[in-house]
Amino acid sequence: MSIEQPLLFIACFFYTFSFILNYLKQNQYTHNIIILSGTLGLLCHTVSLSIRWVRVGHGPFINLYEILSSNVWSLMLCFLLFMILSKQNKQMGRYIVPILALLMIWLLITPAKDTYLPPTYNTIWLYFHVFSGKFFLGLLLLATGMAIFELMTSKSSDSSSSIPAARFLSYQLLAFAFCFESLMLFFGAIWAQDAWGRYWSWDPLETWAFLTWLSLAFVLHLKTNSSYQNIYPVLVLGCFILAFLTFFGVPFISTAPHKGMI
């Protein structure tokens, strides 16, 4: 029996432990345990994904199970890097942990079916497309975490000093999420041209990815207008919901990410 699945379960155990610790009172000790537990989970998950990659002969981005697994991995990586690099915002973790936990549970109840890489997917541009997409979603998740952190902090009385910093960090993350989504669309267009002889065809996934791009452009434009600053965190959350549905909803109306394009 392959150790791929047991390793994934062990990874999820460490992730869960790390998630729970986010809701305890934060000090240096709990922070270090969160990082350690998350890192151990990530290591197990990396080995599990690598074994699968070698066994099936391609990266984890064909069916729902593979896409969920690789996204839990990449989002956890972004989350841990953020927790390590931005210690003053470690409270933010508790706001994005539910999203990660939701994806993790979804992954655990999804059948781990083996997949086959269609010839049209066998191109280097697919890897660029997927990796830029993962950067985009990771950055957007962190921007959303900071936006929710801002929303929650603004309701408490001892908050006023941390709000501008949280807003600015959220804006920075959102700006680079927009850059990486643009890159994702660009690489996706090259891949589509290479694979199917057209760079854009308004298939459901392309359409919703473009709508997500527009929603980010909307929020970035709104950020320059001082009249609407109060709704900024809500709109960032809206962008994330749209991106989440695009990543995990639209592709699975069919059995493949780009419906009918195998």
Q: Which of 175, 61, 74, 30 is nearest to 129 (CA)?
A: 61
Angle at 116 between CA 111 and CA 122, to 5 degrees: 135
Nearer to other proteins, 13 or 199 (CB): 199
Please say whether the beta carbons of 63 and 115 come within 8 A: yes
**Residue (87 or 198) nearer to other proteins, CB:** 198
First to last CA, the chain: 31
The distance of closest approach from Cβ of residue 228 to other proteins in the complex, given in angstroms and rounded to an integer, is 8
What the block records as the tokens of 230 is: 């109060």
What is the smallest separation between the CB atom of 43 and other proteins, expressed in angstroms?
31
Instruction: In angstroms, give the least distance from the CB of 122 to other proteins.
Output: 7
| Closer to other proteins by Cβ: residue 7 or 139 | 139
Q: Return d(Cα 250, Cα 154) in angstroms, integer.
A: 34
Name the minimum Å distance from CB 120 to other proteins.
Answer: 6
Query: Nearest CA to 59 among 109, 131, 132, 140?
Result: 131
| Distance of closest approach, residue 95 Cβ to other proteins, in angstroms | 22
- Considering the complex, state which of residue 58 and residue 134 has its C-beta at the smaller distance from other proteins: 58
Supply 28's token pair. 């240096």
- Asked whether the beta carbons of 205 and 192 are under 8 A apart, the reply is no
Q: How much is the CA Rg of the chain, to the nearest whole Å?
A: 19
CA distance linking residue 122 with residue 118, whole number of Å: 7
Task: In angstroms, give the least distance from the CB of 138 to other proteins.
Answer: 16
Residues that bind other proteins (CB under 8 A): 116, 118-120, 122-123, 168, 172, 175-176, 178-179, 182-183, 186, 189-190, 193-199, 202, 207, 210-211, 214-215, 217-218, 221-222, 224-225, 227
- Which element (helix H / strand E) includes 116? none
Q: Which residues contact 179 (CB under 8 A, 6 or more apart)?
A: none
Smallest distance from other proteins to CB 50, Å? 22
Of 121 and 149, CB closest to other proteins? 121
Closest CB to other proteins among residues 13, 210:
210
Helical axes 4-21 vs 64-85, angle rounded to 10°: 40
**Closer CB to other proteins, 72 or 236, in the complex:** 236
